[in-house]
Structure 1
Amino acid sequence: MTVVVVVVVLVVAIATYLTWLASRLDRLANRVDATRAGLVAQLTARADAARSLARSCGLDDLAIAAERARAGHATLLAEATLDATAEDAENALSRALRSPAVALAVGRAAPGDVHAVDAAAARVALARQFHNDAVGDVRSLAGRRLVRLVHLSGRRPLPAYFEIDDAPPVREDGPPRPESSAEMPGA
């Protein structure tokens, strides 16, 4: 009788643990989907802000890069993966935002457009970090030996990291920042 109780308790404990792992995988996959949607929304906002800046400053290269990036966003919303084509288009937009032509035009541009681009670029960096963190969590859990052995992740492909050059454009128009605490007033 004692052996039967121990075996039943052991089976229930193993089943509970496996169920918990499977539900954790599902929650993490849902988190990846949510962060992916947020990333695409921020990429769209950055492309729209860049297009607005390009129009106000007459920057054709920036407008082309923004349109190319914007064209890929519909595909990103429809497909399950963030692919290299989208990464290339976003990298081209990032390079265009940091180009010397844009830096020269920033002084003539409407401050609202410049602020919108800078804010959107910062939000893209955060959204990409959230997405890549969620992808790392899924890949880490799905890579465990027990999860692979029992096939808890099913046939779902592992999500991919989205690696782009999302360094924000450097603006020279801000107030100078002190280099050390010795230069700060009151220090």
Structure 2
Amino acid sequence: MPEHQRADARRNYARILAVAEEEVAAQGADASLEQIARTAGVGSATVRRHFPTRRALLEAVSRTRIEALCVRAEELTGRGDSRDALLEWMGDVVAYCVSARGLAAALTYDGSPADPVHENSCSRSLEEAGGPLLHRAVRDGAMAADVTVADLITLAVGIVLATEHRRDPAAEADRLFRLAVVGLSPLGGAPA
């Protein structure tokens, strides 16, 4: 949020974001923007002024988790076996997406351009963070050379969205991710 905004605009932004975090946690990515506005005590136009698209709102709600995943990628870079490090990080991405409703939707690639109001999209931040992990794994021959971080994020998002309504989404997402890992490895290695 720009610091040059008026104090009341900054307060509205903070209040909308706090309410949105609760609503997205309860309702997922389809949380009602109108309900968020009502609960925050602002008009829907105020919500749209701060968050012109649903994606912008989801990215703002997910920012803390995305930052944590980026830090985790940095911690794992250069540590231990390159394949294990990459797969551990991807497992963290899947687990975070399951536990943070709305995060998977914020990471989807829908072909629309990034919101210019928000400099870095969630996906772009994760791509930059995961790049060194993937490059090292490819260099070591532990991952196929044509795999991209965007591919890995798409895989994680697909698994999370496909399992979000299951009885135990975390266990199902983890199981499917581990199953997919066999197909990602150039020699069909066992999942980490």
Assess same fold via TM > 0.5: no
**TM-score when normalising by structure 2:** 0.29
Whose radius of gyration is greater, 1 or 2? 1
Larger relative contact order, structure 1 or 2 (CA cutoff 8 Å, min sep 6): 1
